[in-house]
Amino acid sequence: MKLNFSLLLLLFLTIFSTKYFSQEYLAIDKQLEAIQVQNYSSIDQVHNEIVKPRYSEEQKVYAIAKFITNNIAYGPRAGTPLNCVNSGAGVCQDYAELFIALCKLSNIENNYVTGDGKTSSQDIGFFSSNHAWNVVRVNGRYQIYDLTWAAGTYDDQTHTFNRNFNLQYFNTKPEDFISDHFPNNLKWQLLDNPLSINEYINSPVFSQEFRNLSLKNGIVRSNNLEITFESDFDFDRCSLFKWKLNEYGSASGKDILLTKKGEEYTLNISEETPGAYKYKLTFWPSKKEETQIINDDNSNSISYTYSSSSSIEFKLITHNYIIPKPTSFDKKDPWGLIESYHYIFYKLDARFFNELNQSNKTNSIENLTNAISLHNSLKNWIGDYKNFYTNSRNGDISYEINNFTVILSYKPDGYEFKEIKRSLLTKGSFGYAVEELQKHFGLEITGYFDYRLEQKIKDFQTLNNLKTDGVVGNNTYKFMNL
């Protein structure tokens, strides 16, 4: 069966620079495809296969980056650039470190950048400095690359990697990149007017095709909402998909009226069922991809499919919504207790706490060490949480809630509360405990651990004969009476 695709390439070219489709770059792609990846003995050997003497600096960067996205799948931590190539897998740190190692052999400046990556509405309102990417100096100008996201997508449910090259994370415009990446070092935003951490974590998640989006906040507290935006794309349909905040899986979509005037689009949403939701608005282009099919009997047929879709994601909380107390839980299932302990410290609910802790009851949640600070960190909680826990070698489990760690120990009838610890804080951390530190030192309260707070911490550590590393751990907390 032969396929003839027509409109997809045209659509692609309207988004990205046409330089990557020039004969020179297509020739580089062809040369990269011809490389027989082997068990290399050195990174120099890898570099020599990728980079040719005739390549310009920009072509070298492209060739190195494209080799990585062609051959490295998201998987176990490789540890070294050479291991990454030979194993064909790695995490974001490995992608970034391999990119740096290969650029270094071409005498090209390549900077390792860490920060937060936002992939869906689930990430709105949260910040985690657990992603890495690169800023490369090419012909005197900085360019942003995220080779992990450019290589494809990883399914957390099936633990499988889908290689699907995404050019939008090659030399991305800074004003677009900031929508889903926030660097710990603000200078790597490469923006004249850097975005604040609060603007970033509370912003919606949306495709780069949208301009002048009226929706500025990713957490909407309203039953009714109008959204406007501009786009060069010709959309003719909009589908709304929604889930409860901590609900996952597939959802049925419903069509939303979409009106267009020139390049401006308008839609209105009305939520009739009280609750807290994750919303995903999917927009379908009017131009469809024409596929000519030559059937087995040599007859011809044509089908039309949408070549791509674009989306806007956010959370919506209806008026007067009250976070409900969890009605079901399994003390022997660590996953089943995450929501319960969020609720307990949000409401300071001693009765619910005692229901879960028959051998460890308390008259008042306030009596538990660090409970009040954890409660204060949840003052604006909307009921969502990270569905994640950590196993300890001694059998304990722990939940990270803002900058605190709730630790449970296993008892005969299931897990019970052990203690609340303050999490280790370093530059790039974000949350209520950082606000406490900023208040302690008389700094502007942003909740973001920046270089100014780091210097204050180092000064404090020096004054108290502590290790001067700018990291806030048990000893520093102790001397600060926190």
pLDDT tens digits, residue range 139-153? Answer: 999 999 999 999 999
d(CA 202, CA 127): 10
Q: 2 — alpha (psi -120 to 50), left (phi > 0) or beta?
A: beta
Residue 7: Cβ-neighbour burial (10 angstroms; 0-12, 13-18, 19+): middle
Residue 309, φ and ψ in degrees, nearest 5: -140, 160
Is residue 25 scored above 90 in pLDDT? Answer: no
Residue 308 has pLDDT above 90, yes or no: no
Which CATH code is given to the segment(s) 219-317? 2.60.40
Q: For 462-474, b where at least 16 C-beta lie within 10 A, e where not — what string? A: eeeebeeebbbee
Cα within 13 Å of Cα(250), Cβ side:
1
What CATH number belongs to 35-199? 3.10.620
For residues 367 and 355, what is the distance between their CA atoms, to the nearest angstrom?
17
Q: Which helix (H) or strand (E) holds 59?
A: helix 57-71
Nearest to 202 by CA among 446, 467, 471, 466: 446
* Alpha-carbon dihedral 466, 468, 471, 474, rounded to 10 degrees: -10
Residues 6 or more apart whose CB falls under 8 angstroms from that of 36 comprise none
Please, which pLDDT band fits residue 387 given cuts at 50, 70 and 90? Answer: confident
pLDDT tens per residue, range 78-132: 999 999 999 999 999 999 999 999 999 999 999 999 999 998 898 999 998 889 9
Residue 406: pLDDT band with limits 50, 70, 90: very high
d(CA 259, CA 238): 10
- Ranges in the chain annotated CATH 3.10.620: 35-199
Residue 87 or 158, more confident: 87
**Residue with token string 């709105």:** 124
Can you tell me whether residue 402 is helix, strand or coil? coil
Residues of the chain within CATH 2.60.40 domain(s) are 219-317
Virtual CA dihedral for 393, 397, 401, 406, nearest 10 degrees?
-100
CB 239 within 8 A of CB 254: yes
